Amino acid sequence: MARRVYLPLALTLCFSAVVIAALWIGGVSVRSGVVSAFDDSANVRTARIRVGDALREQLDEETGVRGYAAVREKILLEPYDEARLTLPLSLQRIGVSLRQLQMTDASQALADAAATSRRWLAVIAVPLISSRTPQRDVQLRGKRLVDRFRSDMNAVEELLAARADRAAQRAQESVLWISLFAACAVLAIILAAAVFAVVQFRLADRLERERARSEEERRAAAEVRAAYETERRIAETLQAGFAQNVLPRLARVRFSATYVPAAEETNIGGDWYDALELSRERVLLAMGDVTGHGIEAAVAMNQTRHLLVACALLDSSPTHVLARVNAELCRSGAPLITALAGVVDVRNFRFAYAAAGHPPPVLWEPGRPARLLDVGSLPLGIVPEAQYQTHVVESVPGALIVLYTDGAVEHSRNVVEGESLLLAAVEAAGQAPSGEAGMIYERIFAGRRIADDVAILTIRFAHENSRSQERAA
Amino acid sequence: MNGDDGIQRIRLTGELEISRKREIRDAFGIVPGAKAALVDLAEVTYADSTALTELLRFCVTAQRDGIPIAVVIRTQQFARLVQYAGLANAFRIFEEPGEALAYLNECVDA
């Protein structure tokens, strides 16, 4: 969730950082170009003014010397004297400007002009001023030097003019670049803002959808939980009916029972057991397991229990009981049910039972290993005409008979291994004075979680010495 | 139908439990025109009550329709579960598919 929220924000910030960096670099570059273009323009302008000054000063020198040579009036030499001092300074300043502008050609032309000026002073101006007679040849040579000087200076001026044009063009381009850059900056800012707005909108939309989905899932989970709780309560209530069973208490036989529901509440199934005292010597025992779990299994369990007891009251023969119950369950469309019905007769240590798809009882007799008794016939609720056979176990005093549901032997998914564990547990419980059912359960599961319900019901016939004591009493 | 001999072949392996209910129910359906059914459960090691119910219903339907069934069971633990369920006499049980097929062919020819 945090990644979904912060990733778009981080991407937007990164994009903004890149845009800002690009704008900054572009701004610096454009500013540098503009400053350079305007600096060039200023330098060129200054240099051209100085070129004009130099030409004017050179003209002052020439006209002063020519005037003096013609009329020999000292006053006419004043422009010459002044220009003779300022012209070299002007040429020097022009040279500085040209070097700053890195104009090599113009610097060379300027150097030629400066040399020509110095030569004119030496070979033309000084002889003409000092001579008392007109010197026509000197004046002609002087004119040629002056023409050369002006030609060099004009060359400098032309180069400066060309440079001025280029500087103006660069300045113009710089202005265009500034405009373009400003437009790009505005577009980038608009784009960044748009991206940020879109990201924010999508993020908000996604968060809203996730919140709605989460709320929907929470509501659905609550509904499922409520339905499950309801079913669990009903199933537990129905199961509590037999959990409160009170086992018959007879003189020559003792019963013990345990029922442990599945560790997973959703797996609470339809296991049950019943013990009904038919007379002081005979007890009906029933045990069963309804296929499936939850309320349906619990309802079927209660229906079968009541059917079984009702049928047993009419005729307690196990064969008869199971056949009647099976016919009724097939008629009502009940799920598959395994069951065992048996009658204990304490007078002769006999146990007669019939099984319908149910695991076989275990018999332990003192001094003998525990053994599995015969298995039965088809489960209840499938084949209306199914036949059930009554098996009779003639036991001995002190014997232990154990009835159980499949959870006691199928916990490892290997029923052969489960039977071995069960037989060992029964043999251990055979030595115990009481609490056999709980002991067998503990011996098999030893604190392990169980995946299915487990019901265990034991029948312990009294020992001979107990019977003797009873008879004596 | 898996062959030209009119014998429907059903094969399931592993642990048959409620999580495979649909697969088991689909498998235990009699194909129209089948003269016999071979149910190969040789590699089944466990079956819960749901799977046993489907097997039992399949057998009941087949017997009602007069279709002989042969079931191949090889693992001791599954054979014991079949005994528990009282199914040991509900159909013929073999340890090898070949034997089961031979038995069914005899039934079909008869």
Tens digit of each residue's pLDDT (9 = 90 or more) over A42-101? 888 999 999 999 999 999 998 998 888 888 888 888 989 999 899 999 999 999 999 988
**Residues B103/B110, Cβ–Cβ less than 8 Å:** no
CB atoms within 10 A of CB B8: 23
- Asked if pLDDT for residue A273 goes beyond 60, the answer is yes
Residue A327 one-letter amino acid: A
Q: Round to whole Å and give the CA distance between A394 and A392.
A: 6
Q: Round to whole Å and give the CA distance between A126 and A123.
A: 7
| pLDDT given for residue A146 in this prediction | 92
What order do you get walking across the sheet with A391-394 strand by strand?
A: A269-277, A282-293, A337-345, A350-356, A391-394
**Residues A94/A46, Cβ–Cβ less than 8 Å:** no
Task: Report the residue of A383, A405, A420 to disrupt the B interface, i.e. the one with the largest count of B CBs within 10 Å.
Answer: A383
- Asked if pLDDT for residue A419 goes beyond 80, the answer is yes
**Residues B39/B55, Cβ–Cβ less than 8 Å:** yes
Helix (H) or strand (E) holding A253, with range, is: strand A253-260
Give the closest of B49, B60, B77 to A291, CB-based.
Answer: B49
pLDDT band, very low/low/confident/very high, at A104 (cuts 50, 70, 90): very high
| Nearest residue on chain A to B57, alpha-carbon basis | A382
Q: Which phi and psi angles does A287 have, rounded to 5°?
A: -145, 145
Is A248 in CB contact (< 8 Å) with chain B? Answer: no
pLDDT band, very low/low/confident/very high, at A355 (cuts 50, 70, 90): very high
- Asked if pLDDT for residue A442 goes beyond 90, the answer is yes
Cβ–Cβ of A378/B85 closer than 8 Å?
Answer: yes
Task: Report the residue of A415, A416, A417 to disrupt the B interface, i.e. the one with the largest count of B CBs within 10 Å.
Answer: A415
Is A253 in CB contact (< 8 Å) with chain B? Answer: no
Q: Is the dihedral of CA A32, A36, A38, A39 positive or negative?
A: positive
Of A181-185, A266-270, A328-332, which gets the smallest average pLDDT?
A266-270
**Residues A172/A33, Cβ–Cβ less than 8 Å:** no
**Residues A57/A100, Cβ–Cβ less than 8 Å:** no
Cβ–Cβ of B86/A375 closer than 8 Å?
Answer: yes
- Asked if pLDDT for residue A38 goes beyond 60, the answer is yes
pLDDT band, very low/low/confident/very high, at A5 (cuts 50, 70, 90): low
DSSP A444: H
- Asked if pLDDT for residue A122 goes beyond 70, the answer is yes
Is A405 in CB contact (< 8 Å) with chain B? Answer: no
| pLDDT given for residue A169 in this prediction | 87
ipTM of this predicted structure: 0.88
Is B14 in CB contact (< 8 Å) with chain A? Answer: no
**Residues A128/A65, Cβ–Cβ less than 8 Å:** yes
Measured torsion, CA atoms of residues A164, A166, A169, A174, in degrees rounded to the nearest 10: -100
pLDDT (average), residues A389-395: 94
Beta bridge partners of A392: A352
Measured torsion, CA atoms of residues A364, A370, A375, A376, in degrees rounded to the nearest 10: 10
Helix (H) or strand (E) holding A282, with range, is: strand A282-293
Residue position matching structure tokens 């087949």: B62
Cβ–Cβ of A358/B81 closer than 8 Å?
Answer: no
Q: At what angle do helices A136-243 and A104-120 cross, to 10 degrees?
A: 160
- Asked if pLDDT for residue A12 goes beyond 80, the answer is no
Q: Is the dihedral of CA A247, A370, A391, A280 positive or negative?
A: negative
| Nearest residue on chain B to A413, alpha-carbon basis | B46
Q: Which phi and psi angles does A353 have, rounded to 5°?
A: -145, 160
pLDDT tens for each residue of A448-466: 767 778 899 999 998 866 5
pLDDT band, very low/low/confident/very high, at A287 (cuts 50, 70, 90): very high
Of A358-367, A398-407, B87-96, which gets the smallest average pLDDT?
B87-96
| pLDDT given for residue A311 in this prediction | 93
CA distance between the termini of chain A: 80
Q: Give 10-residue mean pLDDT values along chain B (110 residues).
A: 79 91 91 91 91 90 91 94 87 92 89
Q: A164, A151, A149, A165: which is closest to A49 by C-alpha?
A: A164
Cβ–Cβ of B87/A378 closer than 8 Å?
Answer: yes
Q: B1, B59, B47, B45: which is closest to B23 by C-alpha?
A: B47
| pLDDT given for residue A368 in this prediction | 94
Burial class (CB in 10 A: 0-12, 13-18, 19+), A236: middle
Distance from CA of B4 to the nearest CA of A (A): 32
| pLDDT given for residue A404 in this prediction | 96
Q: Round to whole Å and give the CA distance between A377 and A280.
A: 30
The count of residues in chain B is: 110
| pLDDT given for residue A471 in this prediction | 47
pTM above threshold 0.95: no
Q: What is the DSSP string of A166-222?
A: HHHHHHHHHHHHHHHHHHHHHHHHHHHHHHHHHHHHHHHHHHHHHHHHHHHHHHHHH
Burial class (CB in 10 A: 0-12, 13-18, 19+), A195: middle
Is B46 in CB contact (< 8 Å) with chain A? Answer: yes
| pLDDT given for residue A470 in this prediction | 46
| Nearest residue on chain B to A452, alpha-carbon basis | B48
Q: Round to whole Å and give the CA distance between A25 and B85.
A: 87
Contacts of B81 in chain A (CB under 8 A): 410, 415
Contacts of A269 in chain B (CB under 8 A): none
Q: Round to whole Å and give the CA distance between A100 and A80.
A: 30
Q: At what angle do helices A104-120 and A78-100 cross, to 10 degrees?
A: 160
The chain-wide mean pLDDT, for chain A, equals: 86
| pLDDT given for residue A468 in this prediction | 47
| pLDDT given for residue A242 in this prediction | 58
Is A291 in CB contact (< 8 Å) with chain B? Answer: yes
Is B53 in CB contact (< 8 Å) with chain A? Answer: yes
Distance from CA of A410 to the nearest CA of B (A): 9
**Residues A336/B56, Cβ–Cβ less than 8 Å:** yes
Burial class (CB in 10 A: 0-12, 13-18, 19+), A199: middle
The count of residues in chain A is: 473
| pLDDT given for residue A145 in this prediction | 92
